[in-house]
Structure formats: C-alpha cells, structure tokens
Chains A and B, each alone.
Chain A
C-alpha cells in the first residue's frame, strides 16, 4: 500500500513538473527575436553550398514549380516550402520561432525594416549573387533597404484600379482617376483592397497628396481625414472590402476595384468562356505617383543553409527563371528585360493591359509602404478598424 502511495506522490511530482514546463514552453513561443540566435554578419566568400534541404517561406503558388525543380537538380538538394497567408502572419511566425527557414521569400517593404531591426535577416554576401546585376535599376537600392544590404526584390507590383472596359471607356477612367471608386453610378459594384495601408493610402491619393511622404504619414489629421473619406464609400457606393478583385472583375459582379496590377493579369484566367480579355482594364495615375511595393527575398539570420540560400536568391534573379515565374503568378519579377513590349510580344500580357506592367517611370516614382513607428502603426490600424466596423 505504502509503495503505491509513494508511487502516486512521485507521479504527481512528475505531472507537476510537466505542467510547470508548459508555461515556460508557451513563454518561449512568445519570446522575442533574440531566441533565434542567428548571426547578421554576411557569410564568408567562397563557401561550398550545404546539402540542404533548403527551406523557403512563401505565399502559396507564388513560384513556378519547374523553377524549384531546376534548382533542385542543379544543386542536388531538396527544396521545402512552408507557406503563409499574410505578411504579418509571416513575421510573427519567424519572430516567435514557430517557423525556422533559410529564405524569407516574400517580405513587404513594411516588414523588411522590422526584420532587419529585429535582427532576423542576415546581411547578404553579393559575391554569391552575380545575377544581382539583373535587378531593375529602381530597386538596386530601395528606400526600405538602402544598398540592398539584406534583401533582393522578388516581384514588384503597383496599386491601381481594375475596371470593366466594356462598361466604362478608358477616357472616362482617365478623367476620373481615383474618383471612379467614389462614383455613386457604380453603387454596389465597387471593391477596395482589404489592407489597412492600401485602404487609407487610397483615400489619401484620392484627396490629393501634398507630399508623397504622406503615404507613410504619422500626421493624425491626415489619417483622420482619410478614415472619413473611406467611410463615405459605404454610403456612396456600398463598398466591399476584399482581395477578390482578380475574380470579381472578370466574373462581372464588380465594375471598379482598387487592386494590384497582377490581379488584372490573373483576371484574364477567370473570364467566363466566350468573354474576351479586352473587357478588363487597369488604371494607374498618369503622373506615375502612386503605390508601388515589392516582395523581397532575404536570408534568415538563423538559416542552416545560408550558402544555398544565397544561391537560391541568385537563381531567382536569372532572367529565364524570372520569366517562368511570371508565367505562373503574373507578378512582375524585379529583373531587367521583362518590360511591357517583351511580355506582350511573348503573348503573356494582352495589349490592353499594357499599363499593368510597370514602366520604368512607375518603378522610379512609385512609393512603397515603409515600416511605421509603433504608435503610428496603431493609429493607422485603429482608423482602418473604425472604417471596417462602420456603416
């Protein structure tokens, strides 16, 4: 009897230890970047690539599987892709150690700043990335990562208006610009992107910018005004807030949508049978001042295959591979030679969507969303929350 009682006590103690361990375990989940234990200094020159497997962290279906296969056979390694749904999900999982990968495939400019400051990215050694010379001039030293010390761009994209060219003629669109989204004529057929930065920036662009820096403003008054202008969309056009423009425009349920240029290229694949791609239009401000963002690739500070990761970045900047990627995801690679003339001549892009391929001026003058200070970011999010909760 006494033995079993001792047993019981011992087991209780074990259980207590287990339960107690749960808390620090959870604590570790929530702890900051320091736990990654990575190095941010660049790797030395001339190292041999590791044996892999190379781990990538990316949106689903964002790379051509043939390109991945080609990389695997070139270096004799396996490539594993872990996916995420949003930029903030990605940084959270990397920061709390839930995901350990070699390459962050698609970080937005707004998170690149935080990834660098949080010491999650490793400085690049460009000797492993000779294809860096292929990068578009406007993106060799972007404002979010001067000198491309930590990242190389994977794709670039602009934010504009996708519309039904069979319902609105191009001249009207050009004359109205952003006003198109506020036009009660299209009530019930208007959509804007479900993203706080994109939504509020849209209202600012609609109002007219005093300065392009306003797209990353900390000015409370500017934000408040933007929130009010967005709220007016509810009454005026019964706005919907989604990222479904790529299918709503071709299906015809929506006539005008704030969207990314790639959405309208993707849309050509969602047209009902018998409908020509000419029904789809894309507008971007004529003065080329608007929102242009990129998805950036970087090597993680705690990468176990840092050399291989560099080689992968280089592989993605190869023009032929970039072209293959464009054919699957319609996002313009940040690589020279893939301009509108070329992509149209190859038949990848219809002539009427020429504007959906970023011109050199659009690349140069476009403004990315940068990392905002914490208090400012909160202000942006709360203003957006007020809009989405309203009506």
Chain B
C-alpha cells in the first residue's frame, strides 16, 4: 500500500509532463483566437450606440440579436453582396491555380533535382519574406503603371499599341498580384513534402517499366497530395481576407472589389460595425467548411498510411 502511494505521483507527473508543453499554445489560442472571435460575435449580435454609433457588444449569448447577421446573410446569398463573394472565390481559385502551376515545379526542382544548390535556392525562396508585402505590391504598381517597365517592354517588342493601364481594375492584375504575394507560402510546405518522398518508390516505378511521366503521375503526384493540400490551405485562407492587394493593384475599382474590401469599408468607413463583423463571421464559416474538409482528408490519409 505504502509502495503504491509513493509510486503514483511520479508516474502521474510523467503523464502530465509532455502534455503540459501544450499549455502556452492553448493559452495563446484562448487569449488571441477564441476570445477575439467571441468578441466579434458579441459585436455582431449586440447593439449600436444610437448617437455615437459605436458597437455595444452583447456578451451574454442569451440576449443575442441575430437580425444583423440574417440581413447580411440575405445580402450575401441573394442580394447585392453576392457578386463580391463570387468574385472573391473566383480570384482565390484562379490564384491558387497559378500558385500550383508555378509553385509545384519550383518545389519539385528544389526538393528532388537541385542537389548542391538546394540550400542557396531555399534561401532565395525565403528572401521575399524579408520585404514587406506592401512594399512588394507597390513595386508591382511601378511595374504596371502606364509608363512602367511592363508597358515599355511590350512596346519595345511591338506587342502593344497605345500603353495599357494595367491598374485600371483588370482582374488578371489582381490575380497575378495574389499569386505573386502568396506563392512563397505555397512552395515551402510543398517542398517539405516532396523532399521527404521515398526515392525508392520512384525507382520501383521506373523498374516496373513506367515512363518518367507515368511515374510522376501515378507515384509522385499522389504522394504529394498532402503537401499540396497543406500548401493550398496556407495560401487560400489569407487570400480570402486579403484586401490590400486589390487596393493597390486596381486603385479602388468596383470591378475587382473583394470581400476583404467590404469588411474594411464597413469597419473603418461606416457607422455599421455590426455589418462588418457579420461579414467576418460569414467568411469564417465558409472557410471553416474548407478547413473541415482539409482536416478530414488529412486524417483519412494518415489512417490509410498506418494500415
């Protein structure tokens, strides 16, 4: 009996030792994720000071008023905000496609083919993070403005007559901006996956008579799906909330407005903060559907891998 008593605490201590490492992370999430989201909800479902029009958050869920959310929901699904949501989804989809087309070959090359130059290439991939995102967008403004280098080169090559203003609310400009801004985030997780691919599997594929392309299609590509998924999630989530890429590259044209611009407008330039926070909640709900799908497929793959 005495032995058991003496023995229990250390074992329990050992059991708690490793999980306790998660405590700072949990605290961080609670303070800087859960609480702020609750505050966003409290603002959306709360009131507004009738005179000063500042939000009066309602912290008690029993007294929540859902009228703003339902108004905004109907504007999003059937009303005037529908096209902003559709446009945002289209822009993000196209930008993701661009990221795949550019990012996959780069990640593949660095991970599998660049042997000696790998570390210097990796350093180059991280380089964009040293420069502020806004600075990089402003650089694009310089390149794309009517007398910028893009037009000068096109003119020099006789590919263009009168100079075109690429910053006039052209959707390709915004999509290119998004691809440029987020492609480094896409490449790095993909690189990590491709770098860990078991080379013996590829060799087996070739030994069994598959061509280089067939090996790529039936071995490399399926094995890089988890990396592609992770890279997509990491790039798509911030792209949905992005508004400054559009602000800089189409100078406030209504033709390219994204949902982030509407949120910014309602939170910073209006007296309807609740509409802004309702849009935040709706966007988050849509994104969490994507997140659930991602988590589901990743878990499924892990289970299959263990089998």
- Is the beta-carbon distance between B251 and A244 smaller than 8 angstroms? yes
- Is the beta-carbon distance between B251 and A242 smaller than 8 angstroms? yes
- Is the beta-carbon distance between A89 and B268 smaller than 8 angstroms? yes
Closest residue to B251 on the A side, CB-wise?
Answer: A240
Which among B54, B84, B145, B256 is the interface contact of A30 at CB below 8 angstroms? B54
- Is the beta-carbon distance between A234 and B59 smaller than 8 angstroms? no
Interface set, chain A 358-391, CB cutoff 8 A to B: 374, 377-378, 381-382, 385-391
For B253, what are the chain A residues with a Cβ–Cβ distance below 8 Å? 234, 238-241, 391
Closest residue to B84 on the A side, CB-wise?
Answer: A389
- Is the beta-carbon distance between A241 and B50 smaller than 8 angstroms? no
**Chain A: minimal CB distance from B170 (Å):** 10
- B 202-226 binary contact with A (CB < 8 Å = 1; else 0): 0000000000000000000000000
**Chain A: minimal CB distance from B247 (Å):** 9
- Is the beta-carbon distance between A86 and B52 smaller than 8 angstroms? no
For A377, what are the chain B residues with a Cβ–Cβ distance below 8 Å? 53, 271
- Is the beta-carbon distance between A31 and B83 smaller than 8 angstroms? no
**CB contact under 8 A between A238 and B255, given known A389-B83, A389-B262:** yes
For B256, what are the chain A residues with a Cβ–Cβ distance below 8 Å? 391
For B84, what are the chain A residues with a Cβ–Cβ distance below 8 Å? 389
Tell me whether A147 is interfacial, beta carbon within 8 Å: no
For A83, what are the chain B residues with a Cβ–Cβ distance below 8 Å? none
Closest residue to A23 on the B side, CB-wise?
Answer: B59
Tell me whether A88 is interfacial, beta carbon within 8 Å: yes
- Is the beta-carbon distance between B35 and A374 smaller than 8 angstroms? no
Which among A27, A118, A188, A194 is the interface contact of B168 at CB below 8 angstroms? A188
Which among B50, B56, B270 is the interface contact of A88 at CB below 8 angstroms? B270
- B 149-180 binary contact with A (CB < 8 Å = 1; else 0): 00000000000000001001100000000000
Which among B42, B80, B261 is the interface contact of A386 at CB below 8 angstroms? B80
For A387, what are the chain B residues with a Cβ–Cβ distance below 8 Å? 254
Question: In the complex, what distance in Å separates the CA atom of A377 from the CA atom of B257?
Answer: 22
**Chain A: minimal CB distance from B104 (Å):** 33
- Is the beta-carbon distance between B254 and A390 smaller than 8 angstroms? yes
- B 257-287 binary contact with A (CB < 8 Å = 1; else 0): 1000110011011111100000000000000
Question: In the complex, what distance in Å separates the CA atom of A194 from the CA atom of B266?
Answer: 13
- Is the beta-carbon distance between A239 and B269 smaller than 8 angstroms? no
- Is the beta-carbon distance between B52 and A32 smaller than 8 angstroms? yes
For B59, what are the chain A residues with a Cβ–Cβ distance below 8 Å? 23, 26-27
- Is the beta-carbon distance between A385 and B265 smaller than 8 angstroms? yes
**CB contact under 8 A between A253 and B252, given known A374-B50, A388-B265, A390-B83:** no
Closest residue to A194 on the B side, CB-wise?
Answer: B252
Tell me whether A22 is interfacial, beta carbon within 8 Å: yes
- Is the beta-carbon distance between A27 and B57 smaller than 8 angstroms? yes
**Chain B: minimal CB distance from A330 (Å):** 23
For A1, what are the chain B residues with a Cβ–Cβ distance below 8 Å? 9
- Is the beta-carbon distance between B272 and A32 smaller than 8 angstroms? no
Closest residue to B261 on the A side, CB-wise?
Answer: A388
- Is the beta-carbon distance between B49 and A33 smaller than 8 angstroms? yes
Question: In the complex, what distance in Å separates the CA atom of A216 from the CA atom of B256?
Answer: 29
- Is the beta-carbon distance between B39 and A234 smaller than 8 angstroms? no
Tell me whether B51 is interfacial, beta carbon within 8 Å: yes
- Is the beta-carbon distance between A240 and B57 smaller than 8 angstroms? no
**Chain B: minimal CB distance from A203 (Å):** 14
Q: Which of A91-99, A123-131, A165-173 touches B?
A: A91-99
- Is the beta-carbon distance between A381 and B271 smaller than 8 angstroms? yes
For A92, what are the chain B residues with a Cβ–Cβ distance below 8 Å? 52, 54, 273
For B51, what are the chain A residues with a Cβ–Cβ distance below 8 Å? 32-33, 114, 117-118
For A88, what are the chain B residues with a Cβ–Cβ distance below 8 Å? 268-271
Tell me whether A195 is interfacial, beta carbon within 8 Å: yes
Question: In the complex, what distance in Å separates the CA atom of A188 from the CA atom of B164?
Answer: 10
For B251, what are the chain A residues with a Cβ–Cβ distance below 8 Å? 191, 240-242, 244
Tell me whether A196 is interfacial, beta carbon within 8 Å: yes
For B46, what are the chain A residues with a Cβ–Cβ distance below 8 Å? 30
- Is the beta-carbon distance between A381 and B146 smaller than 8 angstroms? no
**Chain A: minimal CB distance from B8 (Å):** 11
Interface set, chain B 14-73, CB cutoff 8 A to A: 35, 39, 42-43, 46, 48-57, 59
For B269, what are the chain A residues with a Cβ–Cβ distance below 8 Å? 86, 88, 194-196
- A 46-88 binary contact with B (CB < 8 Å = 1; else 0): 0000000000000000000000000000000000000001101
Which among A91, A196, A388 is the interface contact of B257 at CB below 8 angstroms? A388
Instruction: With a 10 A CB-CB cut-off, give which of B57, B84, B169, B269 has the most chain A CB atoms.
Output: B269
Question: In the complex, what distance in Å separates the CA atom of A362 from the CA atom of B214?
Answer: 77
**Chain B: minimal CB distance from A36 (Å):** 10
Closest residue to A32 on the B side, CB-wise?
Answer: B49
- A 286-306 binary contact with B (CB < 8 Å = 1; else 0): 000000000000000000000
CB pairs A–B below 8 angstroms (14 shown): A26-B42, A26-B57, A32-B52, A234-B255, A239-B253, A240-B252, A241-B252, A241-B254, A377-B53, A385-B265, A388-B262, A389-B262, A390-B83, A391-B257
A120-B52, A240-B168 are known contacts; what are 11 more A-B pairs with Cβ within 8 Å? A86-B268, A91-B53, A92-B54, A92-B273, A234-B253, A238-B255, A241-B254, A244-B251, A386-B80, A389-B81, A391-B253
Give me the 4 closest cross-chain CB pairs, A-B, nearest first. A391-B255, A241-B252, A391-B254, A95-B52
